[in-house]
Amino acid sequence: MKIVTYNLNGIRAACNKGLNDWIQNSGIDIFCFQETRATEEQIKSVLDTTGYHAYFNVAERKGYSGTGVLTKKEPLEVMTFLPSVKDDNEGRLLLLKYEGFSILDYYTPNGGSRLDFKFEFMNNVLNDIRAIIKDDELIICTDFNIAHTEQDVSNPKACRNRTGFLPEECKLFDEYLKAGLNDCYRRLHPQGEAFTWSSYSAKATGNKAGWLYRFDYIFASDSIADRLIKCDNLLDKDYSDHYPVLAEFNIRL
């Protein structure tokens, strides 16, 4: 099974840049999108879902947030909320249940002026993840909006005072791992710099002194992580200011 997580920073803009061609020629089983920033009608007008079942959780505020999943196999159940986050009006969650495992498409709040909301939201979701893992295997596809270590930011010293790499955010990241999740990319690539988001200035100049973060992750509970074959950041896919992450598991979907 091949699965991709990707923050699109607007699905309409990404489709204008060639997203559909990649989807239809990729051989990917499941795409998990974050920040679709469109109504379901707008999404359906631009996104080619041929060969996929499509599910979306749209924010009440137009042009904001939102998640979406394309899956070749129809799930047993689809949920747009979790027990601790029933009043999510920003479309940040999609939980798909399959035989033997579940997939959570998860877009965390950015932070900044909403840092308290970010921590509250992420702690509530963490409680639900702990409960899910007790009974089910879980894969999480996410723009986590936190870089975990100094290997995951281009300028660690400066970034320590910026949302996305604050010490308290990195501590929360650790709590997710302690809950029984594995960072699939670091499981296979424990050393070396890695980034999945680039400021437009850094992307335009190729200057690593700009702002670069690894914000995008595929997490897996222990048993599923043991079936991980590969996990890579796809830096050649340039449809957004983020880059997609691809993981392949020894699982038949």
> Is residue 180 classed as helix, strand or coil in its secondary structure?
coil
Q: Which residues pair with 54 in a beta bridge?
A: 70
Whole-angstrom CA distances from 92 to 16, 240, 249 are 23, 18, 25
Catalytic residue check, 107 = yes
From the list 29, 143, 183, 216, the catalytic residue is 143
Distance CA 198, CA 210 (A): 8
> Which region, left, alpha or beta, applies to residue 127 given φ > 0 means left and ψ of -120 to 50 means alpha?
alpha
What is the DSSP annotation of 42-95? HHHHH---TTSEEEEE--SSTTS--EEEEESSPPSEEES-BTTBTT--S--EEE
Distance CA 115, CA 125 (A): 15
Catalytic residue check, 200 = no
From the list 52, 55, 106, 107, the catalytic residue is 107
Catalytically annotated residues: 107, 143
